[in-house]
Structure 1
Amino acid sequence: MENSVLRRLRDLTDFEVADDNPDVRGWTVRGNDGRALGAVFELIVDVEAMKVRYLDIELDSSFHINEHENHILLPIGAASLDDDGDNVFVPALNAESVLKYPPYVEIQVTRTYETAMLRALGLEPVPDGDFYRTPAHDATTFYRGHR
């Protein structure tokens, strides 16, 4: 990954999901149309802030996307949990819009890519200061549905 503070959770031996939060890897990701878009493949962690910033989503094979473009990154605050069904909901995406979302290639987490991701969700990045100081990167929204 180009952004040196962002790392996959599986690569961080000293990190784990907090005890009071579920490990959502493997959970189904659903769009605003209720359709399954894919599953959470990995968590992308900001090692300096010790926070999950992104969900790495592997898109469902029914979208017929080639294997090199079948992952997207989703800012954690752009989704929410449903513990009962082990689902992650993404109100800003659906089966049509996810096809226009910028694909994620593990070595390409650049600020340009992060900005394109936010814009694909209809959000604007913070122009100055802390890039991650946005509702899109706030895990509080994500875990709100957690019991």
Structure 2
Amino acid sequence: MENKNLYRLDELSDYKIASNYSDVRGWKIVDADNHTIGTIDNLWVNKDMQRVVYLDVKVDKKLIEDSRNEVHNVIANDNGKEFIYKDGDSHIIIPIGSVSINKDTKIVMANSIGYDTFRSTNRYNRQNNFDRDYERRVMNSYYPENDPDSVYYSEDDSFYNRREFDHK
């Protein structure tokens, strides 16, 4: 990853989730209409800013299957009749400020991002991580109305100084 200010929480042994926040890893994430998007696999932390900026989501199989219009690397399994996606491209990132967390139901809701948007958003391979270019593409997918001259195009941590990254 070009910007190594970002780390998965489980890579940082000295980091803990603050006691007033829920550890949402393993929780289900849904869109505003309650469609399942996937499961929260990890949290991406900006080490310099000392805060979580993204949820790392393992995308639900149904959402992947619903992505018929996308181009995927498919491999035939043994009987040749069925195609499965390479396991790799099954993760997306969601800015922490774009969700609300229900501690009672242990469900995270993406407030303003719909199922179709998640379906067409680029996924990444967990083995390869992602770079700032991927972050920009994802943010463009979620918030197409944003000004292209905004801080989304900065290379430094000011990229995260936006409401989409403010955890409520």
TM-score between the two structures when normalised by the length of structure 2: 0.76
Q: Tell me the distance in 1 between the aligned counterparts of 2:115 and 2:166.
A: 24
Larger Cα Rg: Structure 1 or Structure 2? 2
- Post-superposition shift, 1:25? 0.3
Q: Tell me the distance in 1 between the aligned counterparts of 2:114 and 2:50.
A: 30
Aligned to 1:22: 22
Aligned to 1:77: 97
Q: Percent of aligned positions with the same letter in both sequences?
A: 28
- Post-superposition shift, 1:108? 4.2
Preserved CA contact (<8 Å) 2:91 2:123: yes
Q: Which has the higher contact order (CA 8 A, sep 6+)?
A: 1
Q: For residues 5-50 of structure 1, what are the alpha-carbon distances to aligned partners after superposition, in whole Å with 9 as ceiling and x for unaligned? A: 0000111110011111110001110002211111110000111111
> Where in structure 1 are there 5+ consecutive unaligned residues?
141-147
2:131 aligned residue (95, 110, 123): 110
Aligned to 1:133: 161
Secondary structure of the structure 2 residue equivalent to 1:37: strand
Preserved CA contact (<8 Å) 1:37 1:94: no
Q: Tell me the distance in 2 between the aligned counterparts of 1:63 and 1:21.
A: 28
Preserved CA contact (<8 Å) 2:45 2:54: yes
Preserved CA contact (<8 Å) 2:38 2:59: yes
Q: Which residues in structure 2 correspond to 1:14-93 (within 5 Å)?
A: 14-64=14-64, 66=85, 67-93=87-113
Which piece of structure 1 moves more, 58-67 or 15-24? 58-67
TM-score between the two structures when normalised by the length of structure 1: 0.86
> Where in structure 2 are there 5+ consecutive unaligned residues?
66-84
Preserved CA contact (<8 Å) 2:2 2:131: yes
Q: Tell me the distance in 1 between the aligned counterparts of 2:166 and 2:55.
A: 12
**What value does the CA root-mean-square deviation take over the aligned residues?**
1.8
Secondary structure of the structure 1 residue equivalent to 2:22: coil
